[in-house]
């Protein structure tokens, strides 16, 4: 079984871990965005949805089990994703100990070159987001269990909405590179597939970003209000 250790130690193994955990996190982000859209259907729907997440797997699982499992899975994915990224970054820094006096990128995109920084911004955002909407410790008017109220009242602050929107743009850049890059890393390629990879990445990035950004914008525009 020593090969498993070897695989996790190898840079290419770590890249595969990055790709697989990245896909998991993308799955979460996409699902999360779809759930967020329930905000448009009023307080009952979204609060019931939030509560319903705890009932997934019943009767096999007890109340909250599925959510716990999902959260543990997510935490594992985040930890592995960040561990692999950090470790590879260190390897890559060592590989170019001395830099160039002049360097002119020929193909690298803004998205590909900002993955590390984008990842850090997303991490900071996630922490804030949890404190804001899950734990409520940075939310001035937090009502446990009333997702609708917490979100709408939170987004009514233009500064907070602005931060969410910026964070979503950072997420978009990260997703755009990640969504075609994972296919490359996992060896999913071929003349036919290759033509679809970038459009796929662009489409799903747009879906997630537009879906998420629409919420604070709708709240700010008064389209979604505290009273449904």
Partner 1 sequence: MDLTLYVWRQAGPDAAGEMKRYEAQGMSPDMSFLEMLDVVNERLILEGEEPIVFEHDCREGICGACGMVINGVAHGPQRATTTCQLHMRQFNDGDTIYIEPWRSTAFPVLRDLMVDRSSFDRIIEAGGYVSVSTGSARDANEIPVPKADADSAMDAAACIGCGACVAACPNGAAQLFTSAKVAHLGLLPQGQPERLSRTRAMVAVMEDEAFGSCTNHRECEAVCPKQISVDYIARLNRDYLKAQLLDPNAK
Residues interacting with partner 1, by CB under 8 A? 3, 7, 10-16, 88, 91-92, 94-109, 112-113, 115, 177, 180-181, 183-189, 194
CB of 41 to partner 1, least distance (A): 39
Distance CA 39, CA 138 (A): 21
Would you state the torsion angle of the CA atoms of residues 90, 95, 98, 103, taken in this order, to the nearest 10 degrees?
-100
User: Please, are residues 179 and 201 in contact by the beta-carbon 8 Å criterion?
Assistant: yes
* Burial zone of 14 (CB within 10 Å; 0-12 exposed, 13-18 middle, 19+ buried): buried
Distance CA 93, CA 98 (A): 9
* Closest to partner 1 by CB, 118 or 154: 118
CB of 113 to partner 1, least distance (A): 7
CB of 97 to partner 1, least distance (A): 5
* Closest to partner 1 by CB, 60 or 95: 95
* Closest to partner 1 by CB, 59 or 99: 99
CB of 2 to partner 1, least distance (A): 10
* Closest to partner 1 by CB, 114 or 156: 114
CB neighbour list of residue 158: distance below 8 Å, 6 or more residues apart: 220
């Amino acid at each position: 079984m020593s090969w498993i250790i070897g695989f996790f130690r190898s840079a290419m193994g770590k890249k595969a871990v990055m790709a697989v955990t990245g896909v998991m996190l993308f799955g979460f982000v996409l699902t999360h965005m779809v759930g967020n859209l329930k905000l448009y259907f009023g307080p009952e729907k979204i609060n019931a949805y939030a509560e319903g997440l705890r009932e997934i797997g019943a009767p096999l699982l007890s109340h909250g089990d599925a959510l716990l499992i999902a959260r543990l899975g997510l935490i594992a994915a985040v930890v592995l994703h960040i561990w692999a990224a950090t470790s590879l970054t260190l390897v890559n820094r060592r590989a170019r100990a001395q830099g160039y006096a002049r360097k002119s990128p020929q193909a690298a995109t803004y998205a590909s070159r900002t993955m590390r920084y984008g990842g850090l911004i997303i991490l900071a955002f996630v922490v804030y987001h949890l404190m804001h909407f899950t734990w409520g410790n940075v939310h001035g008017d937090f009502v446990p269990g009333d997702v609708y109220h917490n979100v709408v009242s939170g987004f009514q602050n233009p500064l907070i909405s602005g931060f969410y929107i910026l964070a979503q743009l950072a997420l978009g850049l990260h997703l755009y590179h990640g969504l075609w890059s994972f296919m490359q890393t996992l060896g999913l390629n071929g003349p036919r597939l290759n033509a679809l990879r970038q459009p796929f990445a662009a489409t799903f990035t747009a879906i997630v970003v537009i879906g998420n950004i629409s919420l604070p914008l709708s709240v700010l525009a008064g389209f979604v209000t505290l009273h449904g």
